[in-house]
Amino acid sequence: MRHQNSSRLERARPAMRGLAAFTGILALVVVAVTVSAVSIAGPRSGTVETTEADALATLRGSAINMEQTSPRMGKEVNTDLRPVRNYPEQPPTIPHKTRGYKINLKVNKCLSCHSRRAVEQSQAPMVSVTHFMDRDGQVLASVTPRRYFCSQCHVPQLDAKPLVANDFVDADTVIQVIRAKGN
């Protein structure tokens, strides 16, 4: 019995040496990454001193430790006009007020106007056919659960000036530029 145990031990030694070498290398890598992170981040102390050259420009307008009053929200756009979409498959924005709309597991206020049965009376656009498809592409009789919570993708718009400059170019403009360069 003793002979069997010693022969098993002899067979396991190369694997144990490999595991020990791997563990040692892993420990060195962890130490190296930690040292690199500390040297990049700099020393930590209880206070952070910044100079004017180090200051980061933010939309906040004040130091992070200063309490600031929130700006007033802009007015919701309530025109019921459908705004142009900037790219294919962009979820349409909501062109009316939605304050107080209840959307939970039992009720979806949006569907009181946008469901298949309600559009004749409301004259609102019907929910897209893609909202009736499950993840396998099967068309269901009602809105699929993964598309039921409208405000995940669709948002109302505010009549407010942009916080930052925006140089977004819609898909049609990009296509026109490419065609103009090609001719």
Query: Per DSSP, what are the bridge partners of residue 139?
Result: 133
82, 125 in Cβ contact below 8 A? Answer: yes
Residue 133 corresponds to which tokens in the numbers above? 């498809």
Same domain, 163 and 85: yes
| pLDDT for the residue 41 | 52
Same domain, 5 and 91: no
| pLDDT for the residue 32 | 65
Assess if residue 127 is contained within a domain.
Answer: no
Q: How far is residue 116's CA from residue 142's CA, in Å, rounded to a whole number? A: 9
Count of structural domains, the chain: 2
Assess if residue 126 is contained within a domain.
Answer: no
DSSP 103: B
Assess if residue 30 is contained within a domain.
Answer: yes
| pLDDT for the residue 45 | 47
Assess if residue 150 is contained within a domain.
Answer: no
Same domain, 12 and 85: no
**Domain housing 2:** 1-42
| pLDDT for the residue 180 | 93
Same domain, 20 and 87: no
Query: ∠ CA 142-143-146 to the nearest 5 degrees?
Result: 140
Same domain, 85 and 169: yes
Same domain, 82 and 11: no
Residue 150 phi, psi dihedral angles, 5° rounding: -55, -40
Q: How far is residue 28's CA from residue 20's CA, in Å, rounded to a whole number? A: 12
Same domain, 92 and 24: no
Assess if residue 54 is contained within a domain.
Answer: no
**pLDDT tens, the chain, 183 aa long:** 555 556 666 676 776 677 777 777 777 777 666 656 555 555 554 455 555 555 566 777 778 888 888 878 888 888 888 888 888 889 999 989 898 999 999 999 999 999 999 999 999 999 999 999 999 999 999 999 989 999 999 999 888 888 888 888 888 899 999 999 986
SS (H, E, C) 22-70: HHHHHHHHHHHHHHHHHHHHCCCCCCCCCCCCCCCCCCCCCCCCCCCCC
| pLDDT for the residue 89 | 86
Residue 149 corresponds to which tokens in the numbers above? 């919570």
Assess if residue 164 is contained within a domain.
Answer: yes
Same domain, 86 and 175: yes
Residue 65 corresponds to which tokens in the numbers above? 């430790």
Assess if residue 125 is contained within a domain.
Answer: no
